[in-house]
Amino acid sequence: MTLLWHHWAILGVALVVGELLVPAFVLVWFGLGALIVAALLAIAPDTSLILQILLWIASSITFVFLWFKLFKPQLHKTLAGRSQAEALGEVGLMVTNVEPFQKGSVRFQTPLIGSDVWECIADETITAGTRVKVTNVEGSLLRVTKA
């Protein structure tokens, strides 16, 4: 079986276009690998099929590795613990009443960690309309006290 450069070019373009159907952003790298093989075959048309396939695999894996290690390094980092430093001491306005062992809602003037309304808990009864200050972050809840 002989693959010509335009076979690899068609495969490469099909994989890049196929990326529109798959949201993982991985097919594009295999498509670019196929386009590299197509370019090699345009320069050296007598390259063996085994070498073509090995070059395609190597270049595709290299592109995927570079994408995840160089261009998307923050993808696998956890954001745990960052919210506490950003939220502590912020002052907001109670939207709903909060009782001990019950949840309430607090609204901030500017979005805090991506949202302007957060569920909160308190050690005391706080009525709606009271200004409160964040004292701790407990999971997805903010612990507040009267400001």
pLDDT digits 0-9 by tens, 41-56: 999 999 999 999 999 9
Mean of the pLDDT values across residues 30-44?
Answer: 95
Domain boundary among 19, 46, 76: 76
The alpha carbon of residue 16 and the mean position of all alpha carbons in its chain are separated, in whole angstroms, by: 21
pLDDT of residue 75: 54
Report whether pLDDT(8) > 60: yes
User: Looking at the structure, do residues 61 and 95 belong to the same domain, yes or no?
Assistant: no
User: Looking at the structure, do residues 13 and 71 belong to the same domain, yes or no?
Assistant: yes
User: Looking at the structure, do residues 72 and 9 belong to the same domain, yes or no?
Assistant: yes
pLDDT of residue 87: 77
Q: Which amino acid is at 106?
A: V
- Residue 68's Cβ-count burial label (10 Å; 0-12, 13-18, 19+) is middle
Domain boundary among 36, 56, 76: 76
Q: Count CB atoms within 10 A of the CB of residue 99.
A: 13
pLDDT of residue 33: 96
pLDDT of residue 126: 94
Domain boundary among 52, 76, 100: 76
Q: From CA 78, how far away is CA 82, in angstroms rounded?
A: 9
Mean of the pLDDT values across residues 25-52?
Answer: 93
Report whether pLDDT(31) > 90: yes
User: Looking at the structure, do residues 69 and 89 belong to the same domain, yes or no?
Assistant: no
User: Looking at the structure, do residues 65 and 105 belong to the same domain, yes or no?
Assistant: no
CATH for 86:
2.40.50.140
- The answer to whether 88 and 135 have CB atoms below 8 angstroms apart is yes
User: Looking at the structure, do residues 67 and 10 belong to the same domain, yes or no?
Assistant: yes
User: Looking at the structure, do residues 69 and 86 belong to the same domain, yes or no?
Assistant: no
Counted domains in the chain = 2
Beta carbons within 8 Å of 131's beta carbon, 6+ residues apart: 91, 92, 93, 94, 146, 147
Supply the range of the domain harboring residue 67.
5-76
Q: Where is average pLDDT lowest: 22-26, 44-48, 94-98?
A: 22-26
Task: Look at phi and psi of residue 20 and say left if phi exceeds 0, alpha if psi is from -120 to 50, else beta.
Answer: alpha
Q: From CA 144, how far away is CA 123, in angstroms rounded?
A: 8
At 124-145, the pLDDT tens digits run 999 999 999 999 888 888 899 9
